[in-house]
Amino acid sequence: MTKLVIVSDIHGAIGRLKRMLEQEPDLDYLIFLGDGERDMNQIKDLVPQRKVYSVRGNCDYLGESPLEGLAAFDGVLFFYTHGHSYRVKYDLDYFTSVVQSRGADVGLFGHTHTPLVMNEEFHDLPTLFNPGSLGFGASYGVILCDKGKVSFSHRHVKGSYL
């Protein structure tokens, strides 16, 4: 089984990011979906044994990460991006078509600051997953992959300080 931790929209809440890592010591991979690239770069040293996948968001001025990526875990293909380039605040139809065009089973995105899992039961459509915002709501996502089967959950960082 592979455990993915999905984080987006840190917006300076580096204390929450550190506490989230303390809450998830058994993560296999960390996927960062943008808006807080500098924060994430500071944290990478805390998880040197883990691979971090990262994209930049609309607030990551002069960011060095790509705008999107593809990665496979346990037979499941993930397309990941911040989402601002795909108008996810207004409609998810376009984003769904982009995920399908990449051949992905799951589309990961942030930008809206709202946790979401969509199309989990529909096998003809990719599942869409947004972990919410670590900076504005203290939420993040956990995805478990096991031989092509996937489970999604949203979690919150314990404690209320940044």
Whole-structure pTM value: 0.94
Using one digit for the tens of pLDDT, what is the confidence trace for 99-137?
999 999 999 999 999 999 998 677 788 999 999 999 999
* Tokens encoding 13: 């809440």
Mean of pLDDT values over 89-103: 96
Whole-number Å distance between alpha carbons of 146 and 13 = 31
CATH of the domain at 123: 3.60.21.10
Q: Tell me what pLDDT residue 46 has.
A: 76
Quick one: pLDDT band at residue 161, thresholds 50, 70, 90? Answer: low
Helix (H), strand (E), coil (C) string for 44-61? HHHCCCCEEEECCCCCCC
Q: What contacts 78, CB < 8 A, 6 or more positions away?
A: 4, 31, 70, 71, 72, 104, 105, 106, 107, 108
Domain assignment present for residue 72? The answer is: yes
Using one digit for the tens of pLDDT, what is the confidence trace for 14-39?
999 999 999 999 999 999 999 999 88
Domain assignment present for residue 8? The answer is: yes
The mean pLDDT value of the chain amounts to 92
Contacts 24+ apart (CB under 8 A), 149-152: 150/76, 150/105, 150/106, 152/117, 152/120, 152/127
Domain assignment present for residue 162? The answer is: no
Range of the domain at 55: 2-156
Using one digit for the tens of pLDDT, what is the confidence trace for 67-89?
999 999 999 999 999 999 999 99
Domain assignment present for residue 25? The answer is: yes
Domain assignment present for residue 122? The answer is: yes
Domain assignment present for residue 161? The answer is: no
Number of domains in the chain: 1
